[in-house]
Amino acid sequence: MFKKILLVEDDKFLRELMSKKLLSLGYEVSTAPDGETGIEMIKSEKPEVVLLDLILPGINGFDVLEKAKKDPETANIPVVILSNLGQSEDIERGLKLGAKDFLVKAHFTPQEIVNKLKTILE
Amino acid sequence: METKFANIIENKEDALRRVRVALLNILEDTEDARKIAVDERNKTMAIIENLTDGILLLNVDGKVEIISPMAREFLKKEEKDIIGNNFFELINDKEFEELKELLKEDGKIKAIHRKEIAVGDNLNLEVSSVFLKAESVNKGILIVLHDITRDKLIEKMKTEFVSIAAHQLRTPLSAIKWTLKMMLDGDAGKITEDQKDLLEKTYISNERMISLINDLLNVTRIEEGRFLYRQENIQLEDIVDLVVESSTELLEMKKIKLDIDVPKDLMPEVKVDKEKMSLVVQNLLENAVKYSKEGSDIKIILENKGNEALFKIIDKGVGIPKNQQERIFTKFFRGDNVIALETEGSGLGLYTSKNIVEAHKGKIWFDSGENNGTTFYFTVPFVK
């Protein structure tokens, strides 16, 4: 069974790279370029896991996370934050809002990110 | 007889005339002295009135004798409401709370030197207070208020700028990192050994850039004063173990032998921000490795000093030149001898470490001689 992953990321190139990696490993990938679309797609696609950026045009990632966790329909979908914020306050806030993990983009390779997703999907 | 009396009277009159002249002279001198004194006072007052710093002169009872216009402006008071009144009663409003706290000790004013405070939302002052003494008798207190609002604002803008720039820089660097790694992993097709070699070197350069930005972020966070995040009680031994464990690759690369010496009995706990304290140990260890020759050895010693833990790291590396030792903890400083070695470094590690150690109420220092190795020390107080 292919696992479905939703990638919420506003940078086109990063989105492409991550999608490419995930697709090559046999995952099914949907992408959202902003927070608004992200929320809609979490509801409509029901992915197994969400990779969520924080600095997004319009609604930011924290708000997306909060909305997803408040909606009983989507509350159980695990969300992993993948952002270039990464100060203790940001991490704390993300985890408090219910994120499974907080990854700083510049500190992880795509493979390492996939490994994190794997442990969550198992 | 008569001529005798006349003589006496004449003599007396003469004496009186001379007294009168003398008295007039004295009066004239006094008048001159008074004029000079008034001139001096006017001059002094003119200087005080026109100073851009706020000046207050209090008598020994803490009552205001002189206040400059600038000080009146800072305290938002009219001169008539101030002169002769107790200083602490004047600054009883909530917005002057910091000022009051800073200056008051056991109901009296204490001497301070250039301490920064905020007054309300829009004013930052640097405050000094000095006891005026004449022949060791206290004659009053001088308070100087220096406006640093603009400096604070610029400092804040600078910090925010670096913080935002650093975050923005991380995005393209992530893209480069991911691309290089995927190419190296063969995700974009097979690559030759030569290509792999080049890509690997590029990857390492990019990693350096990422860690430089992390250093910059750490520094700006120190300056924003929110660096110590969550403090917990922990053994310093555990922090050292964790850092050493994650540095095995670094040590192996330069074939460095690391010796660790900890007290037989577990030391009391220290209350620290674990992440930040690890950063200090890591910085010191990385420096020791970086500035040691291949195959050299490094020793870490932990000691129980009764009320604090002492950390020592001893290397046999290039050392710090005597004439540069004073500047070793300043931001962006790098020794001439290590620049010549072409080692990588941002000049931020020791600056950051010093700030972290001091935020934990510890001390950091070193012994070193050029080509004679370096020993860095730091202390952290035990939890009481």
Same domain, B184 and B247: no
Q: What residue type is A16 in one-letter code?
A: E
Neighbours of B283 (CB within 10 A): 22
The domains found in chain A, sorted by start residue, are 4-50+62-76+88-121 (3.40.50.2300)
pLDDT at residue A95, as a whole number: 93
Query: Where among B223, B249, B275 does a domain terminate?
Result: B223
Same domain, B219 and B241: no
Task: Give the DSSP per-residue string, B266-286.
Answer: PPPPEEEEHHHHHHHHHHHHH
Q: Does B15 reside within a domain?
A: no
Mean per-residue pLDDT, B240-259: 89
The answer to whether the beta carbons of residues B61 and B84 sit under 8 Å apart is no
pLDDT at residue B166, as a whole number: 76
Interface ipTM: 0.89
Q: How confident is the model at residue B226 (pLDDT cuts 50, 70, 90)?
A: low
Angle at the Cα of B219 from the Cα atoms of B293 and B213, rounded to 5 degrees: 70
Same domain, B239 and B376: yes
Q: Which residues from B are below 8 Å from A82, CB to CB?
A: none
Task: Give the DSSP per-residue string, B327-366.
Answer: GTTSTT---HHHHHTT----S-HHHHHHHHHHHTT--EEE
DSSP element (H, E) containing B210: helix B193-223
**CA distance linking residue A63 with residue B249, whole number of Å:** 40
Cα–Cα distances in Å, from B360 out to A28, B41, B56, B276, B356?
49, 49, 36, 10, 6
Q: Using alpha carbons, select from A35, A48, A42, A34 the residue that is nearest to residue A5.
A: A48
Name residue, tokens 């696992």.
A3
Same domain, B258 and B177: no
Of B265 and A87, the one with more pLDDT: B265
CB within 8 Å: A110 and B182: yes
**CA distance linking residue A105 with residue A103, whole number of Å:** 6
Q: How confident is the model at residue B173 (pLDDT cuts 50, 70, 90)?
A: very high
Task: Using a pLDDT cut of 70, give the percent of chain B over it.
Answer: 97
Q: Which residues from B are below 8 Å from A14, CB to CB?
A: 171, 174-175, 178
Same domain, B268 and B358: yes
Residue A23, SS3? Answer: helix
Look at residue B92 and tell me whether its pLDDT is greater than 90: no
Mutate to test the interface with B, among A18, A60, A87, A93 (most CBs of B within 10 A): A87
Nearest-10 crossing angle of helices B149-184, A12-24 = 30
Q: Long-range pairs for B187-193 at CB < 8 Å and ≥24 separation?
A: B187/A20, B187/A21, B187/A24
Strands B137-147 and B54-58: antiparallel
Contacts of A72 (CB under 8 A, 6+ apart): none
B69-73, B165-169, B256-260, B370-374: the lowest-pLDDT one = B165-169
The pLDDT tens digits for B310-324 are 999 999 999 988 888
| CB nearest A13 (choices: B175, B185, B187) | B175
Query: Where among B188, B223, B258 does a domain terminate?
Result: B223
pLDDT at residue B228, as a whole number: 67
| Tokens representing residue B21 in the block | 């002249």
Q: Which residues from A are below 8 Å from B183, CB to CB?
A: none
Mean pLDDT of chain B: 88
pLDDT at residue B289, as a whole number: 92
| CB nearest A111 (choices: B171, B181, B221) | B181
pLDDT at residue B310, as a whole number: 96
Domain count, chain B: 3
Q: Does B128 reside within a domain?
A: yes
pLDDT at residue B157, as a whole number: 82
Look at residue B364 and tell me whether its pLDDT is greater than 70: yes
Same domain, B361 and B246: yes
Q: How confident is the model at residue B107 (pLDDT cuts 50, 70, 90)?
A: confident
Q: Which residues from A are below 8 Å from B207, CB to CB?
A: none
Same domain, B238 and B374: yes
A3-12, A59-68, B239-248: the lowest-pLDDT one = B239-248
Q: How confident is the model at residue A72 (pLDDT cuts 50, 70, 90)?
A: very high
Same domain, B359 and B284: yes
Q: Does B200 reside within a domain?
A: yes
Its domain, for residue B82, covers 51-147
Is any Cβ of chain A less than 8 angstroms from the Cβ of B182? yes
Report which listed range, B222-226, B247-251, B266-270, is most confident. B266-270
Q: Which residues from B are below 8 Å from A88, CB to CB?
A: 229-230, 275
The dihedral formed by the CA atoms of B275, B360, B227 and B118, expressed in degrees to the nearest 10: 170
Q: Does B38 reside within a domain?
A: no
Mean per-residue pLDDT, B219-225: 70
Report which listed range, A27-41, B4-18, B37-51, B273-287, is most confident. A27-41
Residue B55, SS3? Answer: strand
Query: Where among B172, B190, B223 does a domain terminate?
Result: B223
* Minimum distance, in Å, between the CA of residue A46 and any CA atom of chain B: 27
Using CB atoms within 10 A of its CB, is residue B194 exposed (0-12), middle (13-18) or buried (19+)? exposed
